[in-house]
Amino acid sequence: MPLLADRAPAKVNLTLHVLGRRVGDGYHVLESLVAFAGTADRLTLDPAAPLGLTVSGPTAGPAGPTDDNLVLRAARGLAARVPGLRVGAFHLVKRLPVAAGIGGGSSDAAAALRLLARLNGLSLDHEAVGAVARETGADVPVCLVPRARMMRGAGEEIGPALGLAPLPAVLINPGVPVPTAPVFKALGLAAGQDLPGAPHPTIPQDMATGALLEALAGARNDLEAPALTVAPVIGDALKALRGQGCRLARMSGSGATVFALFADRRAAVRAAAALRTAHPAWWVAPTFLR
């Protein structure tokens, strides 16, 4: 059987409101508008080989030990729930930065579940696929069908795809990994505590781009300020983006990746070229978010 292949696109939090922290499990309750970029990792599956994983690509080193990779966690989890599941050997071409606030590992795991579902004739709404996605990581469920949508709770509440027009954007990662835990610690919410702030704007289906940008301007990323205390270089990246005439610049997730939205693709490409010249050590990607 030929190799199966899929993309694992970067997940970008256009907004990220922290509503509070739950008492029972200590998880933070979030409300976030998520979109997906054109830039992505690539995952292939060889059904003729035994279960395994190899990794290559420019960010393969920081991705860590292959045996603990979320791709294998997802595959083993699905095999445990589906008797007789056909598996195979995965190869991951890692292009996205690691510990970067763009869900690279989660998107890789979601791609593994899509490939295994395709190989075994399972739908993505199969009970086992959804259960393994939730078990593998908080961001994996929203990455299963990578289209713009709202995500709520601790990642378990996934809204319908929103059908937004593609947004020309530039992503920057300044080369500093930022684990999520220190950022939430810097936020400083105790269990049972709420975080005050304006409510998240309503994002209806097929929202026009102008109205969407206006809504985004009135939203925020509540993790941006605490992330700046963990990795001040995030502020440098935001300042660099804002110097390129963007319509909006904000941090994604818990950082350190930041994004900017531009009027059109040419403006995004020009900005990316200028930023690469000024900051050759940074990861810079012009893309569309959708």
Active site residues: 11, 139
Residue written as token pair 């713009």: 148
**Block residue for tokens 């993309």:** 7
Half-sphere exposure (CA, 13 Å, Cβ side) for 43? 30
- Asked if residue 225 belongs to a known ligand binding site, the reply is no
Asked if residue 123 belongs to a known ligand binding site, the reply is no
100 marked as part of a ligand binding site: yes
User: Does 158 count as an annotated binding residue?
Assistant: no
* Cβ atoms within 10 Å, residue 199: 10
Establish whether 104 is an annotated binding residue: yes
Question: Annotated binding residue at 99?
Answer: yes
- Cα–chain-centroid distance for residue 94? 14
Cis peptide before 256 (omega within 30 of 0): yes
DSSP 59-113: TTGGG--GGG-HHHHHHHHHHHHSTT----EEEEE--SPSSSSS-HHHHHHHHHH
Residue 178 phi/psi, 5° resolution?
-125, 100
Distances (CA, A) of 194 to 21, 32, 179: 6, 16, 23
105 is in an annotated binding site: yes
CA 254 from centroid of its chain's CA atoms: 10
- The C-alpha atoms of residue 134 and residue 156 are separated, in whole angstroms, by 7
203 annotated to a ligand binding site: no
**107 is known to lie in a ligand binding site:** yes
The annotation status of 106 as a binding-site residue, yes or no, is yes
CB 146 within 8 A of CB 36: yes
Residues within the annotated binding site?
97-107
Residues within the annotated binding site for ATP?
97-107
